[in-house]
Structures are given as C-alpha cells and as structure tokens.
A and B are shown apart, each in its own frame.
Chain A
Amino acid sequence: MTKLRPDLQIIADNIAPGSRVLDIGCGDGALMAALRDEKGCDARGLEIEPSNVASAVAKGLSVVQGDADTDLAAYPDGSFDYAILSQTLQTTHRPDVMLEQLLRIGQQAFVSFPNFAHWRVRSSLMFGGRMPVTRLIPQSWYDTPNIHHVTIDDFRALVQDGKYVQEGQWFLSGDKQTGRGMANLLAEHAVFLLRG
C-alpha cells in the first residue's frame, strides 16, 4: 500500500466504512483504491486525464473520463454519501457552481485546495512582485491549470454565502497537520467537510 497524499489521507481517515463515494478528479485512483480496500467503500471516479483513467481502470476501479465542469450534471441528486473534490476546486470553471453540484450529488462533500494566502505565497507576491510559484502551486501563471486561486478565508465566505454546513476542517503545512489558529496565514493546504 503506497502512502496517500496527506490531504487524501485526511479524507480517507474521516469517511465512514461502506460509504458510496464519488471522487471527482480522482487521478490514478489512489484514494479510491484505499477506500475500497480498507473501508469497503463503493467508490466511483471522474477524471479528465486519459493516462490516469487507464491506470485507475487497470486497478479495477470504476472511473469515467470526463470533465467535472460539464459531466456532473448526469449524476442524480443524493446518489452518493460523499462527493470528493481534492486539489481541483481552483481549476474549475465556476467553483461556486461546483460546490452546489458536489452537495447536490453527495450528502456530504470533502473539498481540499492549496491556500493562496499562505505566508510564503504572500511574501513571494509582496517582495517578488510576480505571481507566486511554490511547492503546491508549481506552475507559472500562464500554464497553470489553477484558474481560480482561493484562500481559506475566501472559501469560508463561499461556504457561508451558500449556507452550507461546515462539518470538519483540517489544515496542512509541509505534509503535517497544523492547528486552526491563523490557518489562512500558516496553512499551505486545507481540507473541508461540508453538508448541503
């Protein structure tokens, strides 16, 4: 069993055994495989990158090649216990609509994203005067898939605007969990659990 990415491990640890799970942007299916093998979950995936889909299907996972921005509409209301969107929100065309979709399809939704307000990003912009390139945001501004950079406070505001219930929050700094205090400044990465 290969080690999961830290944000995925948090999600895996907090999913009830035997759940029905839709992993949107599931990559090569590492989280899905862990949920299936360790928690007996019925996991389905959506992934845009062909080679990732092939790897996931070859692992025996049910993964559909598609675009989260357009293909979620086909999934019925409340058809999953959890919808998962890990490190993908900031790449979607309309993150607000995406949240609506997640909580339409899933009873609950896990969302993880890199925090654009982390101090390293802030200082890079402040002192470098150029769009930050960091460990979690490794591409240049012109070729990054991240078209909607978001901070933890931005996300909290969006949750409030959408009248969603926040049922969990976890923060990561350098692969280690950190506290909630000043998370918007100190966390590189955030994981939220929401309910519609």
Chain B
Amino acid sequence: MSEDERYGLNRQVRLLGPLPLDSGAALAPVEYAYETYGTLNADASNAILICHALTGDQYVASKHPLTGKDGWWVRMVGPGKPIDTDRHFVICANVIGSCLGSSGPATINPATDEPWGMDFPVLTIADMVRAQAMLLDHLGIERLHAVVGGSMGGMQSISWAALYPERVKSAVIIASAARHSAQNIAFHEVGRQAIMADPRWRGGAYYADDDPPSSGLAVARMAAHITYLSEAGLTEKFGRRLQDREAKTFGFDADFQVESYLRHQGISFVDRFDANSYLYITRAMDYFDLAEAHGGVLAHAFKGSKTRFCLISFDSDWLYPTSESRTMVHALNAAGAEVSFMELSSPFGHDSFLLENPEMNRIVDGFLKAGEGR
C-alpha cells in the first residue's frame, strides 16, 4: 500500500469533476489537499474520514507546515488513540473553500488563470460532503467505517449520514448542530463585515499584490475566538489581570491579559488563513439547515438509516449548546436510528472538543470498537 501514490502525508490531487453545487453552479476541477494515516485493509473496510472545523485543516495528526504546531487532534488520532492509526485508515482533507491546498477562492480559476477571488462559487456543507465523496471514490473507499467531526466537521459528519447513508457505517458528531442558529449567523456576519470593511479587502481581489486584509481578518478571528470559549474559562484563564504592567495606563493599549491574548490570536491567525476563505466557509455554515431539504422535519433525513450515531456536547459550549445536539438525538430517535448521546462537563466552551478530555476519548473509543465487530 505504501507504494500507492494516493496514500500518505501531504497528498494533492486534482479531480476532474465537475462537482454540481447547491447554488446551481459547478466546480471543476476539484483540487484536494489531504493526508492519510495508517493502512487501508484489503477489503477497504477500516477507513475513517475526519472532517475539520471552520479554520481547521488536513493536518489532523501531523505538524502544520506553517505554524510548526502538532496536528490539531493528536489527542484523538494516532497510534493507540481512539481513532487508532494502527487499526484504522484515517483520511483528513482540507475542505473545499479553504486555503490549505484544496480548491478555494485563493486557487486558480481555470477560466481566467487568475485566483478565483469572489468569483469562486458559494458553497454549502452538502457541497463539501459531495466533494469528499468524490475524493473517497478516488481513494477506492466505497464505505466508511466512520465519519468523525466536531463543530463544522460535525455538520459534515451528520450530512454524510443523510446524503450517503449506505456509505457510512458510523457517524460521530461532536459539539455541533443540524442547523446554524440566528446567533451563530449573527457572529459570522460580524466577522465577514470586519473583513469586508478592511480597505485592503478590495472586493476580494487582493492576491496579486500579496496585500491581504489582515486587520479585518484578525478582528473577525478575535470576535469568533470569544465564542469558542466560555465566560468561566476566560475568567479562570485571565480574570481581570493586567498584561505585563502594574497599573492601568489610561489608554487603549492592551492593558488586560485577555486583550493581549485575543490580539495574539487575531495576528497569528492571519498568517495561516485566507480572508476570502473565511467568508466562503462561514457562509456555508450559515446556510446549513439539514431539515430544510426534508420538509423541515429533521427525522426525515434519517429515515431507514442503518448508520450508528454517536453525539457529544459540552455543557459550557454556548455556540453549539447541548440543546442543538438533543434536537438531532430526538430526530434520530424518531427515525429509529441507533444513537448514543452524552453531554460532557468541561469549562472550556466550544473548544472543549479539541482539548484533553478522557471521557470523550473513552466514548469515541468504545463506540468505534463496537462498530468493528459488525
């Protein structure tokens, strides 16, 4: 298997497409940057697809080439971990619309030989999933042992089960929702407006000058970052403590540690993320409402589903609160689907799913192992 060019770290592929999109447009070709870990078994039955979140990437368990940091989910993915690269063949692909090598506004539009910019078609979560299905076809995987994702990755995971029930044996959906709430759309709109209000955004055509709207993107990230944490978490981490100073300056410098932290989050984000991608992906999340295509009844999305589901929420997550997971659980119950659900306790808000949580690992491990006997 190791001889196969399709498998390994830092893979890149151009799929011819076209990929028909929900907007009515089509995308061709579909560029994919992805990584695989572990070995695909003889009957290709041990594949797990990991779907990343809004600003995530394919480097789920290997060093990020820009930041040099460890993969974003090494606590969950690796040898002996719940998603066990000794047992499973793990795939993680940069989602289309993003900027780490897959088709997005920063890649070249074949019609103009220029970066797409805002001519890139608007995407939906379902488009992202259909594109991933094309990638799996290329990789020779008909049926996934599991699809796993948190946050936007969870939206993709549950969409996978709805769009391709016969291709998904088990689905893990963590800190996610079956639709984007008004509050979530509102926060995204703040971020988009911050980017578009930056004079350097220039209608999205900033690639040629290599002068991106970094200030706007940094503000967008700062606002979003607050929603990933919790009041209790912020209080515990920063309180009202001052940053490297004994007293307030009576000015507008970052007096407080929490300000300094947020500024740092904003500044470091612009080095690894494209502002237009941020617009496109947040839009896709806002458009997400899985029940919409099923007459407004979420349970209809899972009628007759043979997929096993495992949902996890966190009690301090106010961005994707437990009530959103319960809505999905109730719909899955109503559809007679096999579902497990648990709300875990953690003070770290929405970001909890990325952090160390032994209980989460125990549940995912047990759930995946139980699916292997079938």
Q: Is B39 an interface residue (CB 8 A)?
A: no
Are the C-beta atoms of B338 and A60 separated by less than 8 Å?
Answer: no
Complex contacts, B366 vs chain A, CB 8 Å: 57-60
Does A6 sit at the interface, judged by CB under 8 A? Answer: no
Interface membership of chain B positions 338-350, coded 1 if the CB is closer than 8 angstroms to chain A and 0 otherwise: 1111111100000
CA distance A53 to B340 in the complex (A): 9
Known contacts A58-B363, A59-B370, A75-B333; A53/B342 CB under 8 A: yes
- Inter-chain CA distance A20–B370, complex, in Å, is 19
**Once bound together, how far apart are the Cα atoms of A59 and B367, in whole Å?**
8
Contacts of A190 in B (CB 8 A): none
Interface size on A, residues (CB 8 A): 20
Given contacts A54-B362, A57-B310, A58-B363, contact A65 B343 (CB under 8 A): yes
Contact of B345 among A50, A53, A74, A75 (CB under 8 A): A50
Question: A57 vs B369: C-alpha distance in the bound complex, in angstroms?
Answer: 10
A63 touches B340 (CB 8 A): yes
Whether B365 and A62, one on each chain, are in contact in the complex, defined by CB atoms closer than 8 angstroms, is: no
A47-106 residues at the B interface, CB under 8 angstroms: 50, 53-54, 56-66, 71, 74-76, 79
A44 at the interface (CB under 8 A from B): yes
Inter-subunit contact B339/A64 (CB<8 Å): yes
Q: Are A62 and B339 touching (Cβ within 8 A)?
A: yes
Residues of A within 8 A of B344 (CB): 50
Q: What number of A-B contacts does a CB cutoff of 8 Å give?
A: 65
Q: B-side binding surface: helix, strand, loop or mixed? A: helix
CB distance from B38 to the nearest CB of A (A): 22
B336 within 8 A of A: yes
Total B residues in contact with A, Cβ cutoff 8 Å: 27
Q: How far is the CA of A76 from the CA of B303 in the complex (A)?
A: 13
What residues on A are CB-neighbors of B334 within 8 Å?
74-76
Chain B residue nearest in CB terms to A44: B338
Measured between beta carbons, the chain B residues less than 8 angstroms from A66 are: 326, 329, 341
Chain A binding surface SS class: mixed
Residue of B nearest to A51 (CB): B359
Q: Identify which of A50, A57, A61, A76 gathers the most chain B CB atoms within 10 Å of its CB.
A: A57
Least CB distance, B259 to chain A, in whole angstroms: 36
Query: Are B370 and A60 neighbours in the complex by a CB distance under 8 Å?
Result: yes
Contact between A62 and B340, CB atoms less than 8 A apart? yes
A residues near B362, Cβ cutoff 8 Å? 54, 58
Contacts of A76 in B (CB 8 A): 334, 336
**Chain B's nearest CB lies how many Å from the CB of A187?**
34
Q: Report chain A residues within 8 Å CB of B339.
A: 44, 62, 64
Distance in angstroms from A2 CB to nearest chain B CB is 17
Q: Which residues of A contact B310 (CB under 8 A)?
A: 57
- Closest chain A residue to B336 by CB distance? A79
Distance of A75 Cα from B345 Cα, bound (Å): 26
- Chain B, residue nearest A53 (CB): B342
Q: How far is the CA of A195 from the CA of B338 in the complex (A)?
A: 25
How far, in whole Å, are A74 and B367 apart by their CA atoms in the complex?
Answer: 23
**For B326, B340, B366, B369, which residue has the most chain A Cβ atoms within 10 angstroms?**
B340
B359 and A62 form a contact (CB under 8 A): no
Nearest residue (CB) in B for A73 is: B330
Given the interface contacts A58-B363, A59-B370, A62-B308, does A74 sit within 8 Å of B333 by beta carbon? yes
Q: Which residues from 320 to 339 on chain B have a C-beta closer than 8 Å to any C-beta of chain A?
A: 326, 329-331, 333-334, 336, 338-339
Contact A71 B340 (CB under 8 A): no
The yes or no answer to B373 lying at the interface (CB within 8 A) is yes
Query: Which B residues form the contact surface with A (CB < 8 A)?
Result: 308, 310, 326, 329-331, 333-334, 336, 338-345, 359, 362-363, 365-367, 369-371, 373
For the complex of A and B, list the 5 residue pairs with the smallest distance between their C-beta atoms, beginning with the closest: A60-B370, A58-B366, A74-B330, A64-B341, A62-B338
Task: Identify the A interface with B (CB < 8 A).
Answer: 44, 50, 53-54, 56-66, 71, 74-76, 79
15 A-B residue pairs with CB within 8 Å: A50-B343, A53-B341, A54-B359, A54-B362, A58-B363, A58-B365, A58-B366, A62-B339, A63-B341, A65-B342, A65-B343, A66-B326, A66-B341, A71-B330, A74-B333
